[in-house]
Chain A
Amino acid sequence: MSLLEFFLRHQREILQATVEHIWLVGVTMVLSVAIGVPLGVLVTRRPWLSKPILGGANIAETIPSLALFGFLLPVPWLGGRADRLAIAALTLYALLPIIRNTSAGISGVDAAVREAARGMGMTEEQILFQVELPLSLSTVLAGVRVATVLTIGIATIAAAVGAGGLGEFIFRGLAMVNNQLILAGAIPAALLALGADFLLSVLERRLRPAR
């Protein structure tokens, strides 16, 4: 049976696993942006928090992903359901690039622009939302792009704790020493990563401020 035949025969399962995968990644990205961008802003406002926050995110990044799923298993609410567990672990991974790029983007805003904004009587909040965030949007988005591609890859491991997604095929294929099964997970995951990378980089270019 050729690979193509295999894909066609199992297209429903593959499609379903792809949708699960996208859902895992999508929820993870929403959560990690919602947490990571405010943390990135906080780091620029309270420099002494930069070490603990970036350090913490850095440590999360270094834990092998399979082990991280294991560590989170005994956590009360999270360990109860596989998808919650997976999303929590993936969010921890996705945070670092988002926090780092948010703080880098904001620190990169021209000091003269910030001084002019302050001198003209903009409040801290107005400076953040009307000046700093719009000007660092493309940098933040670059972080989101890196995090998304990373998450699409790591999310395949979520199948190890039963969270579904394209990893199901990969793990099953490994167990059965069946290359076609492995590729049924790996090819769609790679395509997802490439597609996300492309779309987000287009958006990023469009939002880049003119110099």
Chain B
Amino acid sequence: MPTPITIVDDSAMSRKLMLRALPQGWDVEVSQAENGALALDAYRAGKADVMFLDLTMPVMDGYQVLEAMKKEGLNCFVIVVSADIQPKAQERVLQLGAMAFIKKPVSTEEVTKILKEYGIL
């Protein structure tokens, strides 16, 4: 059965770049969300076993998504994908429960490495 994943980013181009960076042969069913609120909806609808999450977004940002998940005890494998490359931003998202951090522009190698590391791939 394909793994449901959701790509969360306010930029359509950025979502497209993320889609293209997914490793070939990974059996997934991809949903997309353009802000954090829609990302949580996708998770609740069972569309996000794995979530690729941007941080800087309107309506509800990536930090707020992680906080909400933590508060509600949601069990989603979140990989943050962000242009905010400050070490403190990385620290903070990991503390909030994200499993990994990838900086933009995203590469297939990096995504593959993380997925393999956690036995998802």
**Same assembly:** no
| B interface residues, Cβ below 8 angstroms from A | none
